[in-house]
């Protein structure tokens, strides 16, 4: 009896192994079948980039096997588009690829040399514009003539300028200061800002040192601009905040 049991165990093990092999072959054949061939691509949250462009960038071929898609690699390829900040690729079995994108949003118009381009808040070059757009939602940033780096779609253009302007912009009060700024000029060699107000005042802002104090000076400057506008007195030519102590002010 014991001998018969010992002989039965290898047979049972063999049967289990054979069953596993058959199952694996079945699963493999199923995964390679026409059932899992890509029939459609669904793209979500895209407004500026077409579905066809996303499909092309990701090398997603209709009719290819859905499991042959490397989701991370496909997402990285799609993110090469200058207007796409982030992409997420998912499989919707049995035959659909879903791509969810986060598009870059225009944040500022950047004047550099003889060109006007749109950038996001990280300074990434999104697209060209033929002329300055009359859009109060877009900041105007200018780079001085010392900037000579190449301009490539999808790449940050002087990101330190965007970062500095963003810090200053976020520190300004939305109701008063922000809307009174007409232009931010970034001096690339000095790594500092010159800010121009709607009233024409040149504010030599400097770097981000003493930021809160400088913002309080900006508020006072704009109050004075309102007063001079109401009384008809001469305005301010420039204000220099670059150095310690009270800012230097020169009236018109």
- Look at residues 103, 119, 152 and tell me which one is the last residue of a structural domain: 103
**In a shared domain, residues 155 and 218:** yes
Distance CA 48, CA 96 (A): 22
> Count of alpha carbons within 13 Å of 96, Cβ hemisphere only?
6
**In a shared domain, residues 82 and 116:** no
Q: Is 3 within the bounds of a domain?
A: no
Question: What's the domain count of the chain?
Answer: 2
**Residue 220, H or E segment:** helix 211-231
Range of the domain at 215: 108-251
**In a shared domain, residues 74 and 141:** no
**In a shared domain, residues 51 and 148:** no
Q: Is 43 within the bounds of a domain?
A: yes
User: Beta 202-206 vs 236-240: how paired, if at all?
Assistant: parallel
**In a shared domain, residues 239 and 130:** yes
Q: Is 20 within the bounds of a domain?
A: no
Distance CA 13, CA 132 (A): 77
Residue-level pLDDT at 14: 56
Residue-level pLDDT at 119: 97
Q: Kindly give, in sequence order, each residue whose CB lies less than 8 Å from that of residue 189, ignoring residues fewer than 6 positions away.
A: 144, 146
Q: Is 47 within the bounds of a domain?
A: yes
- Look at residues 85, 103, 121 and tell me which one is the last residue of a structural domain: 103
**In a shared domain, residues 144 and 68:** no
**In a shared domain, residues 189 and 71:** no
Environment class of 43 (CB within 10 Å of its CB; exposed 0-12, middle 13-18, buried 19+): buried
**In a shared domain, residues 178 and 64:** no
**In a shared domain, residues 165 and 114:** yes
Q: Is 128 within the bounds of a domain?
A: yes
Q: Is 7 within the bounds of a domain?
A: no
CATH code of the domain in which 78 resides: 3.10.20.310
Residue-level pLDDT at 30: 47
CATH code of the domain in which 170 resides: 3.40.50.11690
Tokens 């982030």, residue located: 86
- DSSP label at 122? T
Residue-level pLDDT at 79: 95
**In a shared domain, residues 135 and 241:** yes
Per-residue pLDDT of the chain (252 residues), as tens digits, is: 545 455 555 656 655 666 666 556 655 554 555 678 999 999 999 999 999 999 999 999 999 999 889 999 999 999 999 999 999 999 999 999 999 999 999 999 999 988 999 999 999 999 999 888 889 899 999 999 999 999 999 999 999 999 999 999 999 988 778 989 999 999 999 999 999 999 999 999 999 999 999 999 999 998 888 888 888 777 889 999 999 989 988 886
Distance CA 57, CA 75 (A): 9
- Look at residues 78, 103, 128 and tell me which one is the last residue of a structural domain: 103
> Count of alpha carbons within 13 Å of 11, Cβ hemisphere only?
5
Helices (H), the chain: 2-31, 51-57, 71-78, 159-171, 211-231
């Amino acid at each position: 009896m014991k001998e018969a049991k010992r002989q039965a165990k290898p047979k049972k093990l063999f049967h289990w192994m054979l069953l596993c092999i058959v199952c694996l072959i079945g699963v493999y054949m199923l995964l390679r079948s026409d059932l899992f061939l890509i029939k459609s691509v669904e793209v979500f949250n895209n407004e500026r980039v077409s579905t066809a462009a996303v499909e092309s960038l990701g090398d997603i071929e209709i009719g290819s096997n859905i499991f042959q898609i490397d989701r991370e690699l496909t997402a990285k390829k799609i993110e090469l588009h200058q207007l796409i900040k982030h992409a997420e690729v998912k499989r919707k079995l049995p035959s659909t690829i879903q791509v969810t994108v986060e598009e870059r949003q225009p944040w500022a118009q950047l004047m550099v040399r003889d060109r006007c381009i749109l950038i996001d808040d990280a300074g990434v070059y999104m697209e060209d514009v033929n002329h300055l757009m009359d859009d109060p939602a877009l900041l105007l940033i200018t780079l001085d003539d010392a900037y000579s780096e190449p301009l490539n779609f999808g790449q940050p253009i002087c990101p330190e300028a965007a970062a500095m302007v963003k810090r200053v912009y976020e520190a300004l009060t939305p109701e008063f200061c922000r809307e009174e700024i007409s232009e931010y000029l970034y001096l690339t060699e000095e790594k500092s800002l010159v800010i121009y107000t709607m009233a024409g005042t040149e504010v030599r802002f400097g770097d981000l040192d003493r930021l809160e104090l400088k913002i309080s000076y900006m508020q006072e400057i704009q109050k004075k601009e309102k007063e001079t506008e109401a009384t008809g007195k001469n305005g301010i030519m420039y204000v220099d905040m670059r150095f310690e102590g009270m800012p230097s002010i020169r009236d018109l």
